[in-house]
Structure 1
Amino acid sequence: MTTTEGAPEGTDREISGAELVLTDVVKKYPGQKTPAVESLSLTVPAGEIVMFIGPSGCGKTTSLKMINRLIEPTSGSITIDGKDIRQQDENELRRHIGYVIQGGSLFPHMTVEKNIGIVPKLLGWDADRISARVTDLLDLVGLEPGRYRGRYPRELSGGQQQRVGVARGLAADPPVILMDEPFGAVDPITRQRLQDELLSIQRELRKTIICVTHDIDEAIKLGDRILILKEGARIAQYDTPEAILGAPADDFVADFVGAGSSLKALSLARVSDLELRQPTTARVGESTAEVRERAEANGDTAVVVIDERGRPRGWPWVRQLKGETIVVPDLELNDVDERSTLNDALDTMLSSNHGAAIVTGDRGQYLGIVDFAAVTEQIRAMEEQAGG
């Protein structure tokens, strides 16, 4: 573990990630005139998310796979926490690097619990420790442990399989996580939720995460830094999202980011920047009559139902409250993580009957409500600041 010195602004958790350094890394394949990766050098600070992005065939996935030696570098060095990866046994190395790919890549004949516990078992963990780790990780990725640990991949949705894939990548508590287009095979709504989940997990664990993506909006949303690559994995620009949007290094970067970069800047603003509303809440099991009375006194026509762990479970209208005590409503929940972008918040609000969205924090804890008024006020303030 390291301290938070040099960590992204606004973080105060201990960093469990490790610094990753690539120095003059080259990958040449037999029969090819030009290297797939040509002298790549960069430093990934401990505890940060770095997004690798660039045109198809530019070498971003090759660069990622050299970090865990799924592809062997031709020359150059890669160190993790100062240790050269080529001086380590490749199987031992991979057991200490999380690896998450598109679709989760789960073993179909294994339960969720056994999928997650593969690497800890290889490392010699006992059964009780593995079971406890599975429970904690399923909770971390937003899946009820008692409900999902015994299921098989075929019984899960695409988004649930990807969550289990993330949990498996975290199972042995590795300092470095590699992600190869992890959210590319799911629908846009599920992708947004998985991105939010990753931001929430990272806020708690502070791993070093390298993520390959083809989506500049995803790179802007998730990355502490973005690495834009040209052919041969030559660096076009390696910087923060703010710097890349505000000062592209050259025409290649400007064209890659695309027109409307001022609109993309909205992706830099987070829900956590806004003041949240605090409407009436109700605990599961509480007296319905008392909740109705409290909501009417507050002038609210709906209440947020929270479970015993402080997680939102529904947002019913007062008129929908039935029975003597509050139960978990059978209604879809429109929620966003506090690190969601304003664009994501607006998308969620548009699909909500309330014209607003529930905001959650670590492990799905309820924080408040974000509404159109708060978002539009923030956008107006940003436009004024940009114009001034």
Structure 2
Amino acid sequence: MTQTDQAAERSISGAELRLENVVKRYPGQKSPAVESLSLTIPAGEIVAFVGPSGCGKTTSLKMINRLIEPTSGSILIDGEDIRKDSATSLRRKIGYVIQGGSLFPHMSVAANVAVVPKMLGWDKKRIATRTDELLDLVGLDPDRYRDRYPRELSGGQQQRVGVARGLAADPPVILMDEPFGAVDPITRQRLQDELISIQRELRKTIVCVTHDIDEAIKLGDRILILQEGANIAQYDTPDAILAAPANDFVADFVGAGSTLKQLSLARVRSLDLLHPTTAKVGEDTGPAVRRAEDAGDDAIVVLDDRDRPVAWPWLRQVRNNDKVKSSPRENLVTLDEAATLNDALDTMLTAAHSKVIVTGDRDRYLGVLDFETVTEHMRKTEREAAEHQLELQQEQDQQGAHADG
């Protein structure tokens, strides 16, 4: 059984989220910011809220944890109305991740992650264990990062800590408001991959507000496209929205090139990976180099004791040392198996190897993807789509001919 199959069998730790005729009116405004919003978000899924500026997506998100109080209607988590508890108590049960991580600058990384567990009265040992577990989960070595301060971190690292803090008390629902909007494109892609990997393991219910339809397509099990007043234009899977936009508004919002966007639905895990020579950190270089030479490889993928890739040196670099050496894991660019083929191409076009290392759960090494495999798959997909379109056209022509006859 593959890691993906095993992950699919894991129990869902998220909760069903239901909005029933939710309205938000502000004094002095003619129209409501949110007008009778009703939808159900299944437990364990990621739903992306997208729409034009001012459509009510962020207002809708903030009503779920009562940062904004609804004017009327009901919001239920696992069938229980969120107004059953105080707003403060509710927020301690819902993870909240915003742009930039929003870390407390005077607190260490560990203290930032521990904020909610400490409020909930967890003991110090439990908090310390949970903090280290979460830092590892988001790809930050606890020994290196737990005692650092936000000013010592990059933007991407701060956002990782923000995600860890949102997960700290193991909430069933996590809200994310433009979580990756303040980082560069490469870091953004890696953080998206990190979130997908975490979700594959934890199966939380995640609501993510984004202005980027491509990000929504990549992250969302479902996408909610909103018009002004948080009126639902379409609520469906990415495949269904791209294949059959509900109306002109959705078609315009998704934009031109929906065929190319459908290609971006294809994931790295659907392709065959290469398996070049690997070596463990600390291994003698002689046997590793001989294995690579026998296989015709010009580089070696270096793995740590947990089978996570940490370096990808050329053979000439390996030969300079007696032992296989490591490097900081975050310095190595990898792709999660759930990354899109567009991400794979973007990564490979700037990579020294013209290939990319693919990882699975907890960043474990799965193999290597090369440029030729991706481009051939995309060409095949385009050919199949064109053939399918031709068949549909021929059927329509035949039906039209019969009708005329």
- Do both proteins adopt the same fold according to a TM-score greater than 0.5, normalized to the shorter chain? yes
**Structure 1 residue 102 corresponds to structure 2 residue 102:** no
- TM-superposed CA distance for 1:88, in Å, is 1.4
Aligned-partner residue type, residue 285 of structure 1: G
**One-letter amino acid of the structure 1 residue matched with residue 286 of structure 2:** A
Aligned to 1:4: none
Give the Cα–Cα distance (whole angstroms) in 2 for the partners of residues 219 and 208 of structure 1.
Answer: 15
What amino acid maps onto 1:13 in structure 2? R
Distance 1:118 1:330 in 2: 28
SS at match of 1:237: strand
1:126 aligns with 2:98: no
- Cross-structure match for 2:52: 55
In structure 2, what is the equivalent of residue 360 of structure 1? 359
Superposed counterparts of 1:239-258, under 5 Å: 239-258=236-255
| Contact 1:334–1:349 (Cα < 8 Å) also in 2 | no
Question: Which structure has the greater CA radius of gyration?
Answer: 2
Residue 151 of structure 1 aligns to a residue whose secondary structure is coil
1:40 aligns with 2:37: yes
In structure 2, what is the Cα distance between the partners aligned to 1:213 and 1:360? Answer: 26
1:304 is matched with which residue: 289, 295, 301?
301
Q: Of residues 254, 272, 277 in structure 2, which corresponds to 1:275?
A: 272
C-alpha spacing 1:330/1:233, structure 2 compared with 1 (3 Å): closer
- Alpha carbons 1:229, 1:237 under 8 Å: kept: yes
Cα offset for 1:12?
2.2
Partner residue of 2:80? 83
| C-alpha separation in 1, matches of 2:79 and 2:6 | 25
1:288 aligns with 2:319: no
Alignment match, 2:323: 325
Tell me, in whole angstroms, the C-alpha distance in 1 between the residues paired with 2:237 and 2:334. 27
1:112 maps onto 2:109 in alignment: yes
Amino acid at match of 1:359: V
Asked if residue 172 in structure 1 is aligned to residue 186 in structure 2, the reply is no
Q: Is the 8 A contact 2:20 2:73 kept in 1?
A: yes
- Secondary structure of the equivalent of 1:232? helix
1:204 corresponds, among 201, 204, 223, to 201
Distance in 2 (alpha carbons) for counterparts of 1:97 and 1:292:
50
- Give secondary structure in 2 for the equivalent of 1:211: strand
Q: Displacement, 1:10?
A: 8.1
Query: For 2:75, what is the secondary structure of its paired residue?
Result: strand
What is the alpha-carbon distance in structure 2 between the residues aligned to residue 117 and residue 90 of structure 1?
Answer: 20
Query: What is the CA distance between 1:384 and its match in structure 2?
Result: 2.1
The one-letter amino acid paired with 2:170 is: D
Q: Whose helix proportion is higher, 1 or 2? A: 2
Shift, 1:87, TM fit: 1.7
Q: 2:347: which partner in 1?
A: 348
Report matched runs for 1:117-196 at 5 Å. Answer: 117-196=114-193
TM-score for both structures, normalised by structure 1: 0.96
The 2-side partners of 1:228 and 1:203 are apart by: 24
Displacement, 1:230? 0.2
Residue 8 of structure 2: SS of its match in structure 1?
A: coil
Q: Partners in 1 of 2:10 and 2:246 — Cα distance?
A: 32
Which residue identity is paired with 1:284?
Answer: V
Are 1:20 and 2:6 matched, yes or no? Answer: no
Contact 1:19–1:43 (Cα < 8 Å) also in 2: yes
The amino acid across from 1:69 in the alignment is R
Q: Could you tell me which residue of structure 2 aligns to residue 3 of structure 1?
A: none
The alignment partner of 2:175 has SS state of strand
**3-state DSSP class of the match of 1:186?**
coil
Contact 1:306/1:313 (<8 A) preserved: yes
CA contact (8 A) 1:175 1:208 kept: yes
**3-state secondary structure, aligned to 1:39:** strand
* Cα RMSD after superposing both structures: 1.4
CA distance in 2, matches of 1:371, 1:323: 28
SS across alignment from 1:78: strand
1:323 deviates by 1.7
Q: In structure 1, what is the Cα distance between the partners aligned to 2:233 and 2:182?
A: 27
User: Who is 1:385 aligned against?
Assistant: 384
Say if 2:310 and 2:328, in contact at 8 Å, map to a contact too: no
| 5+ residue gaps, structure 1 | 1-7
Say which is worse superposed, 346-355 or 324-333, in terms of deviation. 324-333
Q: Give the CA deviation at 1:179.
A: 0.2
- Give TM-score, length-normalised by structure 2: 0.92
| 2:191 is the alignment partner of 1:232 | no
Give 2:369's aligned residue: 370
Aligned to 1:11: 8
Alignment-mate amino acid for residue 282 of structure 2: G
Counterpart CA distance in 2 for 1:296 and 1:55 is 55
- Name the amino acid aligned to 1:339: A
**Bigger shift: 197-206 or 325-334?**
325-334
Q: Which structure 2 segments of 5+ residues have no match?
A: 388-405
After superposition, give the CA deviation of every residue in 1:97-127 in whole Å (9 maximum; x if it has no partner).
Answer: 0000000000111111111001001111000
1:339 aligns with 2:310: no
Shift of 1:86: 1.2
Deviations 1:31-50 (A, max 9, x none): 11110000000000000000
